[in-house]
Amino acid sequence: MNEQQLIDTINQLQKSRLTLTAEIGKQIIGQDIVVDQVLTGLFSGGHILIEGVPGLAKTLLISTIAKALNLSFSRIQFTPDLMPSDITGSDVLVSGASGENKQFQYLKGPIFANMILADEINRTPPKTQAALLQAMQENAVTAGNKTWMLDRPFIVMATQNPIEQEGTYPLPEAQLDRFMFYIKIGYPSYEEELKIVESTTGLAVPQISPVFNAQEIIAAQEAIRSLPVSDHVLKYAVKLARSTRPSDPEASSEVKKWVNWGAGPRASQFLILAAKTRAALSGRLTPAEEDVRSVAEIVLSHRILVSFAAEAEGLSSGDIIKSILE
């Protein structure tokens, strides 16, 4: 892609983003920041973990975005008895027309789609949670001695409920690290909730028109990765990630006191990639430090393990990130 093609692609992405946001807004009222964050993660090609109490339209948000992007969509309801093969698929014994020549045939699971909604991912044991790991990291699924590549784009959007923690299985740190963003959805404002109730208790059902297709999304993702990054922004992102590690010589006294483990190198990669995407969606050809700061919390918060002392003081990873940014 030459320079002029890159400029044209980014300009078109900015225009299409406005149309896309308007289409999503037909179904999702309020939550503008969350929609912006999800689109940033999606065009970065990253996976997203969304947390919020029941009834905040987490599932509706993801299915609406899939419709607006004209992507194949699968919803997997995670439960304690869900098996890995229920996600990836399994070999089934089939026979020919005459009932003979029986052989095993691989029946693909719901993971073979562009956008996967892993609903209440913390309701299933780690063995089943891990069934997503290879797909999230390598865009592939291995069953037996054969590997199938997944169609691009491939995005996993998982949800979890912060309450009712009895009988849940918190995601291991290794799997949490596979998610580019950790987004928390809060309650709507009074005006937004009034509009939600008014628009969802009648007969009218908004129709979502597709704005992108799979090939256009892939082209946008490749254009975003092609954007240049200045040295000072690159250094800023790396220093920001390193400043969360208590073992780092330049870490603050607060980090050394309140943090057990900080963010790894994947955080630095995601900070830059998300900053590039945020710049591109705004029609800019290179990210600034402000772009890195704007995505810092959703990139870093699930990669910082605070100490027991911090928990006793009521401090969260978000509080640590805010102090670092300040």
Average pLDDT, the chain: 86
Residue 178 DSSP symbol: T
**pLDDT at residue 269 is higher than 90:** yes
- Which pLDDT score, from 0 to 100, does residue 165 have? 62
Residue 97 lies in a domain: no
The per-residue b/e assignment along 113-129, b for 16 or more CB within 10 angstroms, e otherwise, is bbbbbbbbbbbbeeebb
For residue 103, tell me if it sits in a domain.
Answer: no
Please count the residues of the chain.
326
| Other residues' Cβ atoms within 10 Å of the Cβ of residue 190 | 8
Two structure tokens written together for 68: 């607006």
- Looking at the structure, do residues 4 and 60 belong to the same domain, yes or no? yes
Same domain, 268 and 162: no
Q: What is the pLDDT of residue 298?
A: 93
Adjacent-strand bridge partners of 156:
116
pLDDT band with cut points at 50, 70 and 90 for residue 167: low
* DSSP per-residue string spanning 104-152: EEEEE-TTSSSEEEEETGGGS-HHHHGGGHHHHHHSEEEETTEEEEPPS
Residue 272 · residue 254 · CB < 8 Å: no
Answer yes or no: do 253 and 137 share one domain: no
| Among 98, 234, 218, residue whose Cα is nearest residue 150 | 218
Average pLDDT over residues 167-193: 86
In this structure, the answer to whether residues 42 and 160 fall within a common structural domain is: yes
Question: 143 and 213 in one domain?
Answer: yes
pLDDT band at 255 (very low <50, low <70, confident <90, very high): confident
Mean pLDDT across 78-90 = 87
Q: How far is CA 268 from CA 212, 279, 286, in A?
A: 29, 17, 17
Please tell me whether residue 14 adopts helix, strand or coil conformation. Answer: helix
Are both 189 and 320 inside the same structural domain? no
CATH of the domain at 270: 1.10.8.80
Examine the pLDDT at 102 and tell me if it is beyond 80: no
Domain contains 94? no
Give the domain-ending residue among 210, 226, 242: 226
Within-domain flag for 100 = no
Same domain, 285 and 206: no
User: Tell me, what CATH number does 127's domain have?
Assistant: 3.40.50.300
% of the chain with per-residue pLDDT over 90: 27
**Domain assignment of residue 104, yes or no:** no
Q: Which domain holds residue 296?
A: 228-326
The whole-number pLDDT of residue 179 equals 92
Instruction: Evaluate whether residue 101 is within a structural domain.
Output: no
Residues 35 and 56: their CA atoms lie apart, in Å, by 13
In the numeric block, which tokens belong to residue 75?
């919803």
Q: At 222, list the tokens.
A: 């490749």
Asked if 69 and 210 count as a contact pair (C-beta separation under 8 A), the reply is yes
pLDDT tens sequence across 208-234: 888 888 888 999 999 999 999 999 999
List, in order, residues 6 or more apart from 106 with CB less than 8 Å away.
89, 90, 91, 92, 143, 144, 146, 148
- For the chain, what is the domain count? 2
Domain boundary among 173, 208, 226: 226
Mean pLDDT to the nearest integer, 54-65 = 84
- Are 60 and 191 members of one domain? yes
Residue 43 pLDDT greater than 90, yes or no: yes
- Residue 240 has a pLDDT of 92
- Domain identity same for 59 and 200: yes
Residues 6+ away with beta carbon under 8 Å from 298: 37, 181, 182, 183
The candidate with the shortest Cα–Cα distance to 116, out of 156, 68, 175, is 156
What lies within 8 Å, CB to CB, of 18 at 6+ separation is none
Shared-domain flag, residues 74 and 204? yes
Q: Tokens representing 257? A: 């006191």
pLDDT exceeds 90 at position 144: no
**Quick one: 181 and 235 in the same domain?**
no
Q: Is residue 156 part of a domain?
A: yes
87 falls within a domain: no
**What is the reported pLDDT for 291?**
94
Q: Is the pLDDT of residue 98 over 80?
A: no
Last residue of a domain, one of 188, 211, 226: 226
Q: How far apart are CA 61 and CA 31, in angstroms?
A: 10
In a shared domain, residues 117 and 155: yes
Question: Residue 225 has what pLDDT?
Answer: 92
Question: In whole angstroms, what is the distance from residue 208 CA to residue 186 CA?
Answer: 24
Environment class of residue 100 by beta-carbon count within 10 Å: exposed (0-12), middle (13-18) or buried (19+)? exposed
